Amino acid sequence: MMPDQNPFTKRLPGPAGRIQNMKDYQREFIEFALERGVLRFGDFTLKSGRSSPYFFNSGLFNDGDSLRRLGGCYARAVQEAGLDFDMVFGPAYKGIPLAAAFAIACCVEHGRNIPWCFDRKEEKDHGEGGRTLGAALAGKALIIDDVITAGTSVNHAVDIIRQGGATPAGVTIALDRQERGAGETSAVQEVEQRHGLRVTSIITLEHLIEYLREQDNQAGNLERIRRYREQYGADGSGS
């Protein structure tokens, strides 16, 4: 494949993290997540102690068809972002099937066969040993995960990648909640600032809000999410 034909090297215009009209695949992803119960509305207590009007649980993408479709959404998001990478890394545990699904989608849907790798929660001192399984860490490694809350798994992944002799190429997640962490910035923004990495996502809270605006029967959920964002939204997360 010639460099100018590589679907993963084209960057679309427009600033990162701002909606330039929601893409069809993003709308389809929201509907897919609702269909599988991955995205739900109600009253949910988060690890932070906040009471959230919505919840996202990627663990419910739990069959072959779900992973096939999910991998395609990740691949499309990475394509749209124009990220430059040589391999993919999935942080244990949720990032492991996500990275695998993404790698398969890259091969089947985009004609790019990329190596993938993941870490162990505990390093083995017997058998094949080591901290990682899969392809050897090399070149620019793109981290694939579901969401970023405190950034712990991404921080750990960055350390493993660098200690393995590779370079973190960025992070792609399913949903950016765009809400404050401990300070005024979001957990995603904190990861970007701490590591100098770009974090992209399939959808953001802004995409979800835009989707709900389009629905005739979602006024209540839309209003609750708007109030939640007014209370907890990070600086620069939109209006």
What's the pLDDT tens digit per position in 13-28? 333 344 457 899 999 9
At 164-210, the pLDDT tens digits run 999 999 999 999 999 988 788 998 999 999 999 999 999 999 999 99
Contact (CB, 8 A) for 39 and 56: yes
Sequence letter at residue 173: I
Provide the whole-model pTM: 0.86
Percent above pLDDT 70 for the chain? 86
At 68-97, the pLDDT tens digits run 999 999 999 999 999 999 999 999 999 999
CATH of domain 20-232: 3.40.50.2020
Q: What is the C-alpha to C-alpha distance for residues 73 and 77, in angstroms, rounded to an integer?
A: 6
Region 91-104: what's the mean pLDDT?
95
Q: Please, what is the average pLDDT of the chain?
A: 87
- Give me the pLDDT at residue 54, please: 97
pLDDT band (50, 70, 90) for residue 12? very low
Sequence letter at residue 234: A
- Give me the pLDDT at residue 14, please: 35
Which residues participate in catalysis according to the annotation? 124, 126
Question: Residue 171 belongs to what H/E stretch?
Answer: strand 167-176
Pairing of β 199-204 and β 167-176: parallel
Percent above pLDDT 90 for the chain? 76
Q: What is the C-alpha to C-alpha distance for residues 94 and 34, in angstroms, rounded to an integer?
A: 19
